[in-house]
Each structure stands twice: as C-alpha cells, then as structure tokens.
Amino acid sequence: MFTLGIDFGTNSVRALVVRCADGEEMGSAVFNYPSGHQGVLLDPKDHNLARQFPGDYLVGLEKSVKGALAAAAKKRGFSRDKVIGIGVDTTGSSPIPVDAKNRPLALDPKWRKNLNAQCWLWKDHTSLNESSQITELSSHLRPQYIAKCGNTYSSEWFWSKVLHCLRVAPDVFDAAYSWVELADWIPSVLGGVEKPERITRGVCCAGHKALYSDEWGGLPDKEFLGRLDPKLAALRDRLYEKAYDATTAAGKLSYAWAEKLGLQPNLPIAIGEMDVHYGAIGCGVAEGVLVKVIGTSTCDCGVVSADQMIRDIPGICGIVKGAILPGFYGIEAGQSAVGDIFKWWVEVVCGGDAGLHAELTKEAARQKPGQSGLLALDWNNGNRTVLVDPLLTGLLLGQTLYTTKAEIYRALIEATAFGARAILERIKEYEVPVQRIVCAGGIAEKNPMLMQIYADITGCTMQVSGSSQACALGSAISAAVLAGAHKNFPAAQKAMTHVLPKSYRPNSANQKVYDDLYRLYRRVHDAFGGVDRNADLSRVMKDLLVIKHAARR
C-alpha cells in the first residue's frame, strides 16, 4: 500500500509516493511555480510584500502528482490502485481570498493582476501595523487570545493579513466571500468542495495563527473582531465554527481530480497542515524529540501530551492542541532567517554564488570557536522566537581591520545557533522535555560544519532526518494513518521515518568556549531586544578579545 504526500513550498510544489510499510520513497516530482520571482509575486516598492498566484498551485498540483506517480511506476511493486490516501501540507499562514464558489479571486480575470487578490504568502510582512493593533487590542480585551502565541500577534498571520487587505484594498476585501488558508484550500480542491462553508479546516492553521481555540469557542468573538473593523466581525460568519486535527479527514478525492490524476475516486484526503508540522511528523517528532527544519528560516516543533497541563510559554508563538500530532499540544517556535542570512552574506553582500558558499564553509571550518573575536545577532529578518519582534535587525561586532568574510560567515552561522539555543532554553525552562534534536532541510544534510556548531552551541546531539522530503513524507504518513495502514501516528512514524546514521555530538572543549560566547550573545540580545533596559555592555568587546586570544593560543 502507498500514500501520496504533497508539499506546497515557497518556490515549488513536490509530490511524493511513499510505501506505508516502511516509508520507502517510491517516486517524487517537483514543479516550480512559474509566476513572479521564483514563484513569489513581489512589489519593487515594498520589500515586505510577498504574494503567490493561486493558479500556479493548480497546475503544480496536477503536474507534480502525475510526475511522482510516473516515477513510482518504474519501481517494482507499485501500482496506482495501491494508492490508499493523500496528504497535503503547505506554507502558512498563507490565506487566499475566495468567492462563494471557493474559487480564488485571482482566477477571475478581473482580479488576475491585483496583488491583493492573490494568496498572501506566509512571509508577507505588509501588515505590521495591523498585527500591532491586534496585539494591542488583545492584550487589553482578550489577553487569553495571544497568551498562546508569546503575547504578540504576528504580521505573518491570518487576521493581520485580512485586516490589511480590508484597509489597503477594500474592493478586494468586499469581493471576497471568504478567506481560506492554502493548507485547507488544496484538500478542498481535491475533494471538490464548492462552498467555503463546507471546507474542513485544520486546527493547525486555525490554531494561534487565526486565534482559534475550543477554549473560547473557536475563532475570536465578534465583539473583538468588530473593534478592529465591523466588516471583520461580519466575515466571521463566512469562515468556520470548528477546526479539526489530523484524526478527521478533510474529504474524499473527487471524481474530476481522480480522473485528472489517474487515481481511484473517493480516496481519503488527510487534513491539511502547515509544512513544518507535517515535516515534524516526517522527522519523527514525539515527546522528548524536537524537530528542527533548517531552511531559509527555521521552525522548531515539539509536542507535549495533551493529558498534562501546559503553561503558556513567553515568546513561544504556537501552543495548540492537535496542531501537529493528535492527542498532543503542538509547540512551535522559529527563527525568521537562517539560511537567508548566509545567502544574504554570500550573495547580496559578497556578490558570490554556490561556489563562494562552499569556499567560505571550507575556510570557516578551519576556524576554532571564538577565534575570530566576532559576535553576531541573527535578526536580519527580525526575531520570531523568543522576542517575537519583527522590527529587530542584524548586528555584528568584534570586527578589526583583519576580519575576513569567512570569519563573518562563521559568526553568522554561530549567531543562528545561539538563537536556536535561546529557544531551546526557553522551552526547557517550561518543562518541555528535549532529549534529541532531529533536523531536516538541505542545510542539515549538506553542512556538517553547521551541524557540529549547533551541537556544540546547544549542547544537544543533533541527528539528521533520513528523508530529504520530510514534509511530503509527513503528509503521506497522515494519509496512511487516516487510511488505516497504521493504527496511529506513533506506529506510523516508527515504521515510516528514520534518521541518518551520522549524528553530531557536542565537543566538550568547544562547548566551554561557546558557553562563554552565548553569555555575551544573551547580553547583547537582551539589551537590543528590550529584555534588559539597564544593560552593562562595557565588557562585551573586551571579553570577546579574551576569548579570541585564548582560542589563538
């Protein structure tokens, strides 16, 4: 038996055919979104804007699935009629304005070229003002709403984006009957759902991103929404009352799409989740196992049994029951830029390419911890966790007249690892157990230097996911559980996921140096991040020199 996992990323969509028995990846195919810059619609006048053309999703859905099935067909033992379910994951929060027939406005020629009528991609930050307003209102009127997302509502999330659209493009807002997260919309398309009210919404996206919780009866109440804008309160009736975890099916494959894809009709379709959540499942997330997806940005996912009480964790932006694994609180944290920072340094500043990445990695690998005398903050794209502040920026200090670009490259890697440690320390402080960290993403697979630095800085053994398509794999696992191939998620994960044999253990000598550097990182982090408003930074540069000289000795 096999299932299909379909992963809608930022630049492309990937479909993967997986064997339920052991997670063997039978075939996959990738389709790059043709619109905009690498699939993203940009506005040269506004760096904060990032949209996506929904038509690309439909073409990509068909092409990637057909490609994956064709690839699988070359493998012994596979046949299309043995595909028993479909799972979907996407970026998020990426809401799409749709009409009353569940069609994205942007598919209508009238709105085709309107940036506000497209899918509002997760990394769109145009709604900074709206997110502040929601945070402000919530902290006074409904503090419980944002207590589960670090007391700060983000410009990346559902209500900020919808409210911003209402303000800058009222025509688009008025034309939209409802708004649907991409993760919910794709399953609804496959299931032939033609009314937004009939979409089965996942709690994963609804969770903190739309401020949904069973504790307060679903979405934010109308009084709250009305204080933001009466039209937002009116929209609530055209959204949803209830959101579901992955034990509920999103629907069944429609005849039209079954025919298009060459699959059996009525196949169960798993609930849509965000890529990192199904990615976490594909990496084997469990109590005590933190999953870290390291890409352009980073997402950390952990789970804690829903049987026990969990306190709200300051600065941790998502604690939602069932958001990742049914029966567990999902805990989500993240760094707004990781790979993007390295890319910025190598490509934007140094004007290099993959060759320079490789060269700097090689040079940086020869350096000892602390040897450069440098310290950086990993905030070039703001700080998602634990400060939840998109208005923070990067910082580099300790440079002399001899500082090289490879030293800065390493300092930036270290900065992201310090950021990772800050998250880890925060969740451990709130009794979320972490025994192992499993990483996924290209950087984890390809950069042993970075992985060793992460191990040395966090003091945790780092493992690498056995699948380089963990998100799609997680979607396929969800489909396999739903279709009954495994009795539950832990059993499916045990059978279908694994880690690579090579793991990275902390080197105790390096750990010692990095503990010292981390203390300095925290001092600068807390000073510029607003945690410590009476910071004594007078020794930071000198302490760095002491560490530097010790490392060079």
Site for its own copies, rule CB under 8 A: 47, 337, 340-341, 343-344, 348-351, 373, 377, 379-381, 391-405, 408, 527-530, 533-542, 544-545
Strand 318-321, strand 46-52: pairing: unpaired
Query: Residue 551: is it exposed, middle or buried by C-beta count within 10 angstroms (0-12/13-18/19+)?
Result: middle
Q: Please, what is the Cα angle at 474 between 471 and 477, to 5 degrees?
A: 155
Residue placing its CB nearer to its own copies in the complex, 487 or 542: 542
Residue placing its CB nearer to its own copies in the complex, 226 or 314: 314
Give the nearest distance from C-beta 151 to its own copies in angstroms: 16
**What's the CA gap between 140 and 450, in Å, rounded?**
43
**What's the CA gap between 543 and 528, in Å, rounded?**
18
Residue placing its CB nearer to its own copies in the complex, 1 or 395: 395
Give the nearest distance from C-beta 532 to its own copies in angstroms: 8
Give the nearest distance from C-beta 548 to its own copies in angstroms: 9
Query: Residue 333: is it exposed, middle or buried by C-beta count within 10 angstroms (0-12/13-18/19+)?
Result: buried
Give the nearest distance from C-beta 443 to its own copies in angstroms: 16
For residue 188, give both structure tokens. 């609804």
**What's the CA gap between 50 and 147, in Å, rounded?**
28
DSSP state of 506: P
Residue placing its CB nearer to its own copies in the complex, 42 or 310: 42
DSSP state of 467: -
Q: Is 365 helix (H, G, I), strand (E, B) or coil?
A: helix
Q: Which amino acid is at 59?
A: V
Give the nearest distance from C-beta 534 to its own copies in angstroms: 4
Residue placing its CB nearer to its own copies in the complex, 282 or 529: 529
For residue 271, give both structure tokens. 């609930």
Give the nearest distance from C-beta 130 to its own copies in angstroms: 16
Instruction: Write down the residue that tokens 């598919």 correspond to.
Output: 107
Q: Is 167 helix (H, G, I), strand (E, B) or coil?
A: helix
Give the nearest distance from C-beta 343 to its own copies in angstroms: 8
Buried b (16+ CB within 10 A) or exposed e, 226-242: ebbbeebbebbeebbee
**What's the CA gap between 51 and 380, in Å, rounded?**
21
Give the nearest distance from C-beta 51 to its own copies in angstroms: 18
Residue placing its CB nearer to its own copies in the complex, 73 or 350: 350
Which residue in 525, 521, 502 sits closest to 513, CA to CA?
Answer: 521
Residue placing its CB nearer to its own copies in the complex, 181 or 378: 378
Residue placing its CB nearer to its own copies in the complex, 197 or 363: 363
Which residue in 496, 464, 490 sits closest to 85, CA to CA?
Answer: 496
Give the nearest distance from C-beta 180 to its own copies in angstroms: 29
CA–CA distances in Å: residue 111 to residues 13, 63, 118, 142, 195: 24, 25, 8, 36, 20
- 269 CB-near residues (< 8 Å, 6+ apart): 85, 86, 87, 88, 187, 190, 191, 249, 250, 251, 252, 253, 479
Residue placing its CB nearer to its own copies in the complex, 141 or 546: 546
Give the nearest distance from C-beta 552 to its own copies in angstroms: 9
**What's the CA gap between 3 and 182, in Å, rounded?**
21
Residue placing its CB nearer to its own copies in the complex, 343 or 428: 343
Residue placing its CB nearer to its own copies in the complex, 3 or 297: 297
Alpha carbons within 13 angstroms on the beta-carbon side of residue 105 total 24
Residue placing its CB nearer to its own copies in the complex, 317 or 337: 337
Give the nearest distance from C-beta 433 to its own copies in angstroms: 33
Give the nearest distance from C-beta 544 to its own copies in angstroms: 7
**What's the CA gap between 76 and 464, in Å, rounded?**
28
CA 52 vs. chain centroid, Å, equals 17
